[in-house]
Amino acid sequence: MNRCDLVVHVDETLQQAQQEMLEARLQDLPGVVDAHFSHKHPHLMTVAYDCERMEAGSILGRITEQGWHAQTLGM
């Protein structure tokens, strides 16, 4: 496994239940190891994934499919 980390900024302010739902939906993607929002910075989400099985664009696509506006940071 070639692990990569991605930081995503979600424009909307999500309630805890919405954050947990989004984290779970990302973790269901093949190759995603972990996804979680920052407690200190609730607009930021870190996603760890296998770069050989998943692309950052697919992760971002899954977020925007849910109706949220987001962009990756540091790419």
1 — pLDDT class (breaks 50, 70, 90) = confident
With contact defined as beta carbons under 8 Å apart, do 8 and 73 qualify?
A: yes
Q: What percent of the chain has pLDDT over 90?
A: 95
Return the half-sphere exposure (C-beta side, CA atoms, 13 A cut-off) of residue 21. 9
**Domains along the sequence of the chain with CATH:** 3-73 (3.30.70.100)
Rounded to the nearest 10°, the torsion over CA 61, 74, 20, 22 is 0
Is residue 74 pLDDT above 80, yes or no? Answer: no
3-class state of residue 12 by DSSP? coil
- The predicted pLDDT at position 52 comes to 95
